[in-house]
Structure 1
Amino acid sequence: MIDRVQGFFGFTRIPFGRDLAPSMLHQHHSHREAAARIAWCINNRAIGVVTGEVGSGKTVALKGAVSSLDPARFTVIYQPNPEVGMRGLYDRIVTSLGGTPKFHLAALAAQASSALAAEVDERGRTPAVVIDESHLLDHHELDAIRMLTNYEMDSTTPFAVLLIGQPTLRKRMKHGVLAALDQRIAISYQMPTMTKEETASYIKHHITIAGRGDTLFSDDAVQLIHLTSRGLPRSVNNIAWQSLIAAFTEEKGIVDESSTRIAITETHAPE
C-alpha cells in the first residue's frame, strides 16, 4: 500500500515520516523557540524545562537543538524513560561517560556526579543530561536531580539539565516541596500548538521534501486537518497521511475535504 501511494502521487520519499534529518525539519515558531532555548541551556550549563502536549514536537525540537551542537564541546546524555528511577539515570550517566556503574545507590550517585564533573575538567566537554517524559518523575526524583546539580558549594554547575515533559510537569514544579529546584530553573518554555497558517506551511513543507512542489492538499482539507489536529504536529502527520491514502483509494490527484473527512473518521474512530 505505501509503495503504491508513493508511486501514485510521485513522491521520492514517504511524506510525514519521522526519519527526517534535522536540516529537513519544519521550522515553525514553536519548534524554533524550543530549540533555541534548549541550545541556550546546554551552552550555559543551566537547568531548563520544556513542556508541551502529547505530539507537540518536544522531542523533535530537542533533536534539532542537539544537531547544532559541536560534539567536540558537548556530550548529550539522553534518558528517554524516567520510570527506571534515579538508579537508572545514574547508571546511564556513568556508562555514557565511559565508566562502570557501582552497585550501591549512594556510591553510584557520587560516581555519576564525579563523572559529570570530570567530563568538563578533564575532557573539556559540557555534559547535558536530558530527561524525556519528565512529568513521570516523582517529587523525590526531581529533588534528587537538584542535588545532582550541587557542585563546589552550589557556586556553579558543570553540566546542563533539561526536563522535557507534558504540561503537568510545570504545575508540579510549583509545589512548595520543589521550590529549591524551581528557583534554579533558568528557562521554562511551554510549546504552543501550530497556528492555521503554520499547519498549512507544515503540510506543504512535508509534501515538498517528498518531491512534490505543487499544491496537493486543498485549502478546505488543510483547514479541516488543522481544526481536528489542533495544530499538533504528530496529529497533523497522521491525518495528512491517512488523507493521502483516502485520496489514492478514490484515485484523486488532490486531497480534498472529502478525503480528509474519511481519514478523520478512520483515525478518530472509537476502539
Structure 2
Amino acid sequence: MTLDRLQAHYGFTRTPFGKALAPSMLHRHTAHAEAVARIGWCITERALGVVTGEVGAGKTVAVRAALANLDPSRHTTIYLGNPAVGGRGLYGGIVTALGGEPRFHKAALIPQTVELLAAEEHERGRTVVLILDEAHLLTSDQLEELRLLTNADMDSHSPFACLLIGQPTLRRRIKLGTFAALDQRIALRYTLTAMSDTETKSYLAHHLTLAGRSDPLFSDDATALIHQVGRGTPRAINNLAVQALVAAYAAGKAIVDETSARAAVTEVTTE
C-alpha cells in the first residue's frame, strides 16, 4: 500500500505523524514546552545542562526547538550525536566544527580546542552551544574530559554552553561519587516526562490538523489504547497512530476505532 493511497483515503494534504516538521509546527505539550524554556536558559547562561528521558520521549526534538529560537549570528551550534569516538574524538569534533584541523597529539589538541572556543567568543562574539546526544553512552574518560573543558579561567567564566542529552541512566551515572566534580558543575537538570492522556489526545489532533483533518479521526477508545500502549511517548504514539490509520484504511473504515488501534498494537509490538 502506498502512502498516496492512504492520503487520498483520509483526505490528507501531507503524511501525518512524520519527523520532518519545522520547530513552529511541533506540539507544545507541557513537558516539551518546559524543556525548551529550560534549555534556552541554559544556553543564555552558558551553563552545563543534563536533559534526560526515556527512548522516544522527544529530547532531541525539544533541543531542536530551543535551538530554533537562537540568533544564528550570535550562536555556533556543535552537535555530536555519536559518543563512540573517545576523548580525542570529542575534542576533534569540536575543533572540526569550528573550522580547525585537529592536531594529532592529544596534548596539543586540548589547548587547540580551548583556544578555538575562546576565539569564537572573544573574536566573533558568538556563544558556542555544544550538544552531546546519546550522552548516556559517554565513557568515564569522556565525562572527565568534559569537566576539564568546562574548567576555564579558574572557574570564573564558562566558555560555552553544553547540553548532555540521554536516557535516565545518564543522570544516575553522573550521581556516582567518581563524577562529583562534574555533578557540581551542572546548572540544569531536567527529565522529559511522558504526555498525559489529555495531551496525547491533543497531540493526535494537532498532527492530524497539520495533515489537513481538523475533525476527530480517532475514536476515544482508540486514543486511550494508543496512549496506554505508547506510554505517552511521542515516538511510540506516532508509530501506533500510523499503523492504526493503515488498519482502518485496510478495513475500509472512515475513522480509526478501537479495533483498528488493537490491530496497530499487534503490528507494532510483534515487530
TM over 0.5: yes
CA offset digits 1:68-111 (Å, max 9, x no partner): 00001111100001111222221121111111111111211211
SS in 2 for 1:143: helix
2:198 corresponds to = 197
1:188 has 2:189 as partner: yes
CA offset digits 1:165-197 (Å, max 9, x no partner): 000000011111100010110000011100000
1:242 has 2:240 as partner: no
2:256 corresponds to = 255
Runs of 4+ in 1 over 4 A off after TM superposition: none
SS in 1 for 2:155: coil
SS in 2 for 1:153: helix
Q: Which consecutive residues of structure 2, in runs of 5 or more, have no partner in the other structure? A: none
Aligned length: 270
Counting aligned pairs with the same residue, the percent is 59
CA distance in 2, matches of 1:29, 1:88: 36
CA distance in 1, matches of 2:218, 2:184: 47
2:50 corresponds to = 49
1:79 has 2:103 as partner: no
Q: Which consecutive residues of structure 1, in runs of 5 or more, have no partner in the other structure? A: none
SS in 2 for 1:35: helix
2:107 corresponds to = 106
Within 5 Å, which residues of 2 pair with 1:1-271?
1-269=2-270
Asked if 1 retains the 8 angstrom alpha-carbon contact of 2:53 and 2:192, the reply is yes
Asked if 1 retains the 8 angstrom alpha-carbon contact of 2:90 and 2:142, the reply is no
CA distance in 2, matches of 1:121, 1:91: 21
Q: How far does residue 254 in structure 1 lie from its aligned partner after superposition?
A: 0.3
What is the alpha-carbon root mean square deviation over aligned residues?
Answer: 0.8
CA distance in 1, matches of 2:39, 2:107: 30
CA distance in 2, matches of 1:33, 1:254: 33
TM-score (norm 1): 0.98
TM-score (norm 2): 0.98
CA distance in 1, matches of 2:259, 2:129: 47
